[in-house]
Structure 1
Amino acid sequence: MNIHKTLLAASILAALTATNVHAQEESPEKTQEEMMETIKVSSRGLISYVSATGAKSDTPIIETPLSVSVLTETRIEDLGAVTVQDAIGYVAGLYNGPYGVDTRGDWAQIRGVSPVQYLDGLKSLFGYYNNVRINPYSLGQIEILKGPSSVLYGQGSTGGIINLVSKRPQAETEGQFWAQLGNYSRKQVAGDITGALNDDASLTGRFIGLYRNSDTQTDFVPDNSLVLNPSLSWHASEDTKITLIGNIQRNESGSSTQFFPWQGTLFPNEFGQIDSSTFVSEPGFDKYDTEQDALTAIVEHDINLNWSLRLASRYNDSHADYNTMYGWPPVFADDNRTVNRVSYLSRADARTWTSDLQLHGSVITGAVEHDLVFGLDFQDSYTDNDYAYGAMNPLDLYAPVYGQATGLPTESDVVDYASLTSQQTGVYVQDNMRIDDKWLISAALRRDRATNNPEGGSATDQYATTGRLGFMYLMDGGLSPYLSYSESFSPLIGRDAYENPYVPLEGKQWEA
């Protein structure tokens, strides 16, 4: 409560003293050297040349033997992106529309495979249809790592990962407030203010807030949201910095994805095209309402000039109420107008604790410069999805009449299915070697243990060892050809017909 009061006071003070939309103040006591040290090239303009995702360190992309794309805050704003899915649409090798316009989440495929989503280097999505959709207004950067990445991040796909980077408090006082009107009765207001909270700027704060009331292209489906992101950074000493990032979010929406038949969409139908605004579910029943409370702590400590520690940890509690009706199978009846609708209701929860401890070091052995990362990460997640199905009900997609559906599931019909508790522990090491300022060799190795424990069932353990090896040559003129090999793994929950636990799904990739 005290943190919120401090941030609120700082926000009011900064708003009163700001003279324009982006007001910046410099302390007259600052020396020229101190001012120069605050410049960060990676956060300026449309393109970032530095990414923490590829190597878990601030390594220039041109020195990373992987395919990495970074979207800066400015780039996201210029795209007019209202969702993360919008923002990543122009990234090479990535397809951001596997389910079309979907209010339930951000979907993508990297090189034909669904990626794993991270927030500030920690896995952010567990289970399914129980997580809150992150608003891009709270992000300072989006990083896309293509290809297998389990060696640094644990479980993942062969497609890669999408790492969302939260906005952080800044010492310079800066603020903005804007209002927006748009199609489908869209009304949105947002504000972002940051600055120092004391005289020596050892304590800095930031507060991001957004409120939206909107309809969507699908009838009877809203897209309402409330986002509150307070954050605080404390320079406890010259060598230690502690950052806390809060996320309070409430979304109210429904099922915008309707699963229309092929006839009347891709293929012609005698009654014409189905209107894209057509709603297959039932008004008053359909909803996808999510809420989330999360707190991320990031501790950075410089041991000396060559060695440093970094710890990131997050607790997340999310819940989703999901009611929907959809045509199944997605084909017309004999009249080429009517579909049969399945009715479905679920109540899903997810409580997760994720942590990543890293030791960074620089060592020189002869002509070789070593950039080392030693890490230990841990995930503990509880997911529960209780649901019920109701009766089938027909609907004429060309002249829908609502309010006549019967046998819809209610709260009393929800079956308490078994929850799942999962843990994953991984240890990893990476060595980026620079030889004669021209040759780069990146080697990494990781060992994981994943435990899945269904309620009322027996726990299963899965183990995996993954690696990565890359060679790169830094040519004059900014070209860096490379050859790399990388691996991934993803645990599979359950047992086969002989009651043996499944082995993890593994992936391998060569890239040049």
Structure 2
Amino acid sequence: MSKLADANPVIDRAPRLARVTRAAMGVAIGTTATGFDRHAEAQTAPDTQLAPVTAVGAVAHPTGGYQVTMPTIDKLTQPLLDTPQSISVQPRALLDDKGVTTLRDALRDVPGVSLQAGEGGQQGDNLSIRGFNAQNDFYLDGMHDFGSYYRDPFNLESVEVLKGPSSILFGRGSTGGIINQVSKQAQLDPVTTASVAFGTDGTKRTTFDMDRAIPGVTGAAIHLNGMIDDGGVAGQDYTKNRRFGLAPELAFGLGTDTRVKLSYFHQQSYDTPSYGLPWINGKPAPVNTSNFYGYSQSDYFRSNVDVGTIRVEHDFNDNVTVTNQLRYGSYQRSIAVTEPLITGYTASQDIVPATLPLSSTLVHQHVIALSSRETTLDNDTDVNLHFKTGPVSHDLVTGIEVSRQTSDPTRYVGTQATVSLLTPTTLSSSVYPLTVSSIAGNTANAYAVYATDTIKIGDKLQVIGGWRFDRYDSTYHQIVAPVAHVTRDDDMPSWRAAIVYKPVPNASVYASYGTSFDPSAEALSLTASTAAVAPEKSTNYEIGGKWDTLDSKLSLTTALYRLAMTNVRETSLVDPTTSILAGDYRVYGFEVGVTGHITPRLQIFAGYSYNDAEVVASPNINELGHQPPNAPKHTFSTFIEYKTPWYGIEVGGGVNLVSSRTASSLPVTGTTIIERAPGYTIGQLFAKAPINDHITAQVNITNISDETYYDGLHPGHIITGAARAALFTLNFKL
């Protein structure tokens, strides 16, 4: 085990080393949601030397720091320094310092990521990566987490954002990238932490985190993590969020050749959502941003998520490790929400005559309602092999994946009433009548085989080649008129090729090529109009460089890329009830990132992304030359933390910038108007101080300038961001 203690990011690592280190250390290196380090040895003075890097597969970052050096995904065998792909990782320490209470709040600070509003039947977390929708590209510990719900980070050790097509790793989707949530895991070291938080936006939040070795059972441990959250949104009087979460795990064989982990994740919510403001003439309605156009006691969004996972890892020897992960997930949701629409004044939606005063303008209360249950049954088997052919070494990952996903939404329609734009009054307990409009079902069976080999030729050159073949069979049925039953089967290969050159051990330059595909039923959304449509296809060319400087305590990254999606699904101009493959989207982009310690007391997480996205082919000539939806050219974020020399006090803050973006690539029907939200810049501050050895106090202030900005875009409505708010937290460690 001495080799593990001396691990270095430029040293070759066999798969077995990754698993043994991950098990022996209990996976978690970092901090809990309470702000305390999960290991007793992490309690060090501010100028203590940073912790060494652990082996592949561990959540490796300096003690309590922002820098991460290793990915957690089993199919990625090399350090981030040598992985030919742009990857942004936010570890627990950063999530704690920012005081985030939702995954959306964490992701808004990732360059290249832009938040957007949920679609009519796809509520929950929704965003774009590099200009492409990634709502269905969420993963939990490397397996698809496709439910439509708002994710809470209470059980996360880190959040990984892999950018660019990743079908070689995950199959369908992942055009702009994917989000992988890394769960906290059981460890042998005892941990008991908790937090209590109160916010000026009405937030009341409690979390707890416990780890214990099981007496009398060698290598066995139990982990229990929980959360209760009840809060609102600053500046939005009627929006309420209520969540409860629990995540236990049992682990056996930690530190041995065979590890078994049994985990369960439960999160339920009962929210009163707001769909924000209507568009008027291509701009957000010029009204009080706190206006609410729904029914305060009738609008709701409920979700109930249950995910159970069994993970088994076995090291046959130093060079062969087999991992099998089996998961069953159930995602139940029910929603009735009011979308404010401006209609009826012309033949086009959102257009209001210039002669009509705002006081006379009416908003139609479009009711969106559905209930649904999605399920997933997924099994992924990976074999990690480390071997040599002559002077050349190989890190080969190969495996098979089998999954089955189902969805059975029932949709409803309600009476569309009207309300004044300036002074909406229907804020009582009015109940709108709902009638069934659709009862449908989707089933998708996926089968995949894959292999990726990292070939190391000497100390300076690596060649990576990967191939994956997916068969994606889907079925759709509709039992309310118009009755329909359609099927679609897609067989698609994916590729990745890359060259990594290391001029010095702590730096790399790379060139890579990768593909991805998006079938019609990717989001369990196959319909009669899309059943005949083949998958969309994407390619990515990327060159970049990575450099771990300042004694490898600061990571610098840069990338230049061209991302293109061909055969984009478009509505046929001949038959509007059908879809055709006729569009092309193209993105030229550039990205830089800085993460880690600038000095022993000062650390940073920052990045900038430029994306020039354009519709270059479309059957609708009005769409040509415009930006795809939610594809801002500029995104920038930075967050710094400074450990002062006084009494253990820490201070810091950050800035988040997003340039203007559109809600659609098409002008409003019959006009030349494109719905566009203005860009924004918002700032945040934080301070943290120990009260004693067991209690730390923390305050986070968000949107410090109290700027009015627009957070979620949709062609039908736009949601304003939260006003200035403060969150006060007490963290406890027993």
Structure 1 length-normalised TM:
0.85
Deviations 1:204-263 (A, max 9, x none): 111111111212242322100000111111118821101111111110113233242247
Q: Distance in 1 between matches of 2:337 and 2:274?
A: 10
Asked if residue 85 in structure 1 is aligned to residue 104 in structure 2, the reply is yes
Identify the match of residue 223 of structure 1 among 241, 245, 255: 241
Unaligned stretches of 5+ in structure 1? 1-19, 27-35, 268-272
SS of the aligned residue for 1:137 comes to: helix
What does residue 444 of structure 1 align with? 466
What does residue 66 of structure 2 align with? 46
Identify the match of residue 421 of structure 1 among 443, 457, 461: 443
Give the % identical residues.
Answer: 25
Unaligned stretches of 5+ in structure 2? 1-34, 42-51, 343-348, 478-483, 544-734
Deviations 1:160-197 (A, max 9, x none): 11111111011111121111100222111110111211
Q: Which amino acid aligns with 2:470?
A: D
Q: Distance in 2 between matches of 1:353 and 1:368?
A: 39
After superposition, the Cα gap between the structure-2 partners of 1:483 and 1:343, relative to the gap in structure 1 and judged at 3 Å, is same
Residues 293, 426 of structure 2: 8 Å contact kept: no
Q: Which amino acid aligns with 1:435?
A: I
Asked if residue 502 in structure 1 is aligned to residue 569 in structure 2, the reply is no
Q: Which amino acid aligns with 1:360?
A: N
Give runs of ≥4 in structure 1 deviating > 3 Å.
20-26, 36-41, 262-267, 329-335, 403-407, 493-497
After superposition, the Cα gap between the structure-2 partners of 1:25 and 1:479, relative to the gap in structure 1 and judged at 3 Å, is closer
Q: Distance in 2 between matches of 1:61 and 1:23?
A: 23
What does residue 413 of structure 2 align with? 389
After superposition, the Cα gap between the structure-2 partners of 1:372 and 1:404, relative to the gap in structure 1 and judged at 3 Å, is closer
After superposition, the Cα gap between the structure-2 partners of 1:417 and 1:470, relative to the gap in structure 1 and judged at 3 Å, is same
What does residue 485 of structure 1 align with? 513
What does residue 485 of structure 2 align with? 457
Asked if residue 370 in structure 1 is aligned to residue 388 in structure 2, the reply is no
Q: CA deviation at 1:464?
A: 0.3
SS of the aligned residue for 1:51 comes to: coil
What does residue 548 of structure 2 align with? none
Q: CA deviation at 1:264?
A: 11
Identify the match of residue 278 of structure 2 among 244, 254, 260: 260
Asked if residue 181 in structure 1 is aligned to residue 198 in structure 2, the reply is yes
Q: Distance in 2 between matches of 1:448 and 1:253?
A: 37
Q: Distance in 2 between matches of 1:443 and 1:236?
A: 32
Q: Distance in 2 between matches of 1:275 and 1:144?
A: 35
After superposition, the Cα gap between the structure-2 partners of 1:293 and 1:41, relative to the gap in structure 1 and judged at 3 Å, is closer
1:314-329 aligned within 5 A: 314-329=327-342
1:46-65 aligned within 5 A: 46-53=66-73, 56-65=75-84
Asked if residue 349 in structure 1 is aligned to residue 369 in structure 2, the reply is no
Q: Distance in 2 between matches of 1:495 and 1:384?
A: 13
Q: Distance in 2 between matches of 1:293 and 1:402?
A: 36
Q: Distance in 1 between matches of 2:168 and 2:184?
A: 26
Deviations 1:389-442 (A, max 9, x none): 1222111132221168988233xx224512111111110011001110110111
Q: Distance in 2 between matches of 1:158 and 1:23?
A: 35
Q: Distance in 2 between matches of 1:406 and 1:208?
A: 39
SS of the aligned residue for 2:464 comes to: strand
Q: Which amino acid aligns with 1:47?
A: Q
Residues 277, 291 of structure 2: 8 Å contact kept: no
After superposition, the Cα gap between the structure-2 partners of 1:303 and 1:62, relative to the gap in structure 1 and judged at 3 Å, is same
Identify the match of residue 145 of structure 2 among 94, 106, 124: 124
Q: Distance in 1 between matches of 2:88 and 2:392?
A: 28
Asked if residue 143 in structure 1 is aligned to residue 174 in structure 2, the reply is no
Please state which structure has a larger fraction of its residues in strand.
Answer: 2
After superposition, the Cα gap between the structure-2 partners of 1:490 and 1:37, relative to the gap in structure 1 and judged at 3 Å, is closer
Q: Distance in 2 between matches of 1:61 and 1:110?
A: 19
After superposition, the Cα gap between the structure-2 partners of 1:52 and 1:407, relative to the gap in structure 1 and judged at 3 Å, is closer
After superposition, the Cα gap between the structure-2 partners of 1:41 and 1:340, relative to the gap in structure 1 and judged at 3 Å, is closer
Does 394-403 or 274-283 show the bigger shift? Answer: 394-403
After superposition, the Cα gap between the structure-2 partners of 1:481 and 1:228, relative to the gap in structure 1 and judged at 3 Å, is same
After superposition, the Cα gap between the structure-2 partners of 1:509 and 1:221, relative to the gap in structure 1 and judged at 3 Å, is same
Q: Distance in 2 between matches of 1:505 and 1:24?
A: 46
What does residue 113 of structure 2 align with? 94
Q: CA deviation at 1:23?
A: 8.1
Q: Distance in 1 between matches of 2:282 and 2:499?
A: 52
SS of the aligned residue for 1:492 comes to: coil
Q: Distance in 2 between matches of 1:492 and 1:22?
A: 44
Residues 298, 311 of structure 1: 8 Å contact kept: yes
Residues 343, 409 of structure 1: 8 Å contact kept: no
SS of the aligned residue for 1:171 comes to: coil
After superposition, the Cα gap between the structure-2 partners of 1:162 and 1:182, relative to the gap in structure 1 and judged at 3 Å, is same
Q: Which amino acid aligns with 1:107?
A: N
Q: Distance in 2 between matches of 1:348 and 1:427?
A: 31
For the aligned residue pairs, the C-alpha RMSD in angstroms reads 2.9
What does residue 729 of structure 2 align with? none
Asked if residue 470 in structure 1 is aligned to residue 498 in structure 2, the reply is yes
After superposition, the Cα gap between the structure-2 partners of 1:57 and 1:202, relative to the gap in structure 1 and judged at 3 Å, is same
Q: Distance in 1 between matches of 2:501 and 2:363?
A: 59
Q: Distance in 2 between matches of 1:106 and 1:420?
A: 21
Residues 308, 327 of structure 2: 8 Å contact kept: yes
Deviations 1:261-319 (A, max 9, x none): 2479657xxxxx42222111112210011111110111111111100101112111111
What does residue 241 of structure 1 align with? 259
What does residue 15 of structure 1 align with? none
Residues 171, 201 of structure 1: 8 Å contact kept: no
Q: Distance in 2 between matches of 1:430 and 1:475?
A: 24
SS of the aligned residue for 1:133 comes to: coil
Q: Distance in 2 between matches of 1:263 and 1:57?
A: 48
Q: Distance in 1 between matches of 2:357 and 2:448?
A: 57
What does residue 108 of structure 1 align with? 127
What does residue 432 of structure 1 align with? 454
Q: Which amino acid aligns with 2:112?
A: G
Q: CA deviation at 1:359?
A: 0.5
SS of the aligned residue for 2:169 comes to: helix
